[in-house]
A and B are shown apart, each in its own frame.
Chain A
Amino acid sequence: MGTIIVNLDVMMAKRKMSLNELASKIDITAPNLSILKTGKAKAIRFSTLTAICQVLNCQPGDILEYKECANDLSE
């Protein structure tokens, strides 16, 4: 089974935006945004994704990426 990689840190670096700044703009707490950034999150609400895309001016595909596992590729 593949995994979803969160590239939020890449987009934040491109837009030169800090975690706290983004958190305050999309109205969620910094620890919750950190959970998303570090890939620990189990789910993401559409409302949060919409807000992030709006603030960072990007598409959901710029933030989320699907990656196949090494085992899946060998199969």
Chain B
Amino acid sequence: MCRMKSNFLTLKSIRVGFDIITAFMMLLICSFIAMNVFTIWHKPKEVIGVAAIHPDKETILFNENLVSDGQNVDLKIQPKYLEVEYDLNFAHNSTSLVFYRILTAFTLNLSLLFSLFIVFQLRNIINSVLKEMKHKGKSLSHHVFSRKNIQRLRYLAFAFILFPLIELSAYWADNLLLERYVKITGTKVMSVLALADLSWDYILIGLVFIILIEVIHKGIALQEENDLTV
């Protein structure tokens, strides 16, 4: 009984912690959204971004020597591309630019949104366990894997899978914009974000998560059936 009470108090304090983190993150996201909406509203045609410029034939060479800080080490550095900042404020089609800017703003805040979603779902799981413990008074293990919590864990898994896909859409939009507006002869202008930089491993984590959830779900169904067999 005493152990149950201490478990209950620990969970309650964790939930309060999650509440504070959720409130802080929501505040942060709201301020980011307000900032982005303000800039898009006032300058819909202006786009400032970073692009990678790959030369078509020759590699870019530096005039100065690049010296290593390490002793007795010879270094030959050949940069593959240049990272440049661009500023578009004279484009004709403003709707596509606005769409691009919304997508970019969304992607920039994606990690924050993703973290908020995870924290919120975990908070809900802890809250449901606390409610069940308060009303039914059984131990912690009885309530963690309820049907609703399984659904919440499933949402988390889908969020892990969706995260890199949204990043991919931003990468695709970035390339599309650069292809359309930034053209330099003899070079290939691409998004500074490479395909390999996207969080592909999140998909694997999400898939493993889904498999685990399905196993737990099946286990719960079997346990329920066994419990209700007389």
Q: Point out residues on A near B: beta carbons under 8 Å.
A: 28, 32-33, 35-36, 40-45, 48
Q: Which residues of A contact B228 (CB under 8 A)?
A: 35, 40-43
What A residues does B225 contact at CB under 8 A? 42-43
A44 to B230, CA, bound (A): 5
CB within 8 Å of A: which B174-230 residues? 224-225, 228-230
Q: Which residues from chain B contact A35 at a C-beta distance below 8 Å?
A: 228, 230
CA distance A40 to B229 in the complex (A): 9
Taken residue by residue from 83 to 101, chain B's Cβ proximity to chain A (1 for < 8 Å, 0 otherwise) reads as 0000000000000000000
A48's closest neighbor in chain B, by CB?
B230
* CB<8 Å pairs between A and B, sample of 7: A28-B230, A32-B230, A35-B228, A41-B230, A43-B225, A45-B229, A45-B230
Q: Give the chain B neighbours of A44 by CB distance below 8 A.
A: 229-230
**Cα distance A40–B227 when bound, in Å?**
11
Nearest B residue to A40, CB-CB:
B228
Give CA–CA (A44, B224) in the complex, Å.
Answer: 14
A25 CA to B152 CA, complexed, in Å: 45
Q: How far is the CB of A9 from chain B (nearest CB, A)?
A: 14
Task: Known pairs A44-B229, A44-B230; list 4 more (Cβ under 8 Å).
Answer: A35-B230, A41-B230, A43-B230, A45-B230
A33 to B228, CA, bound (A): 10
Query: What's the nearest-Cβ distance from chain A to residue B228, in Å?
Result: 4
Report the separation of the CA atoms of residues A43 and B225 in the bound assembly, to the nearest whole angstrom: 8
Q: How far is the CA of A75 from the CA of B224 in the complex (A)?
A: 32
CB distance from A23 to the nearest CB of B (A): 11
* Complex Cα–Cα for A48 and B228 (A): 13
Chain A contacts for B229, CB-based, 8 A: 41-45
Contacts of A40 in B (CB 8 A): 228
> In the complex, what's the smallest C-beta–C-beta distance from A53 to chain B, in angstroms?
14
Residues on B with beta carbons closer than 8 Å to the beta carbon of A45: 229-230
- What is the CA–CA distance of A36 and B224 in the complex, to the nearest angstrom? 14
Q: Which residues of B contact A43 (CB under 8 A)?
A: 225, 228-230
Q: In the complex, what residues of A have CB within 8 A of residue B224's CB?
A: 42
Cβ distance B195 to chain A, nearest Cβ, rounded Å: 50
What CA separation (Å) do A43 and B230 show in the bound complex?
Answer: 6
A19 smallest CB distance to B (angstroms): 13
B128 → chain A, closest Cβ, in Å? 22
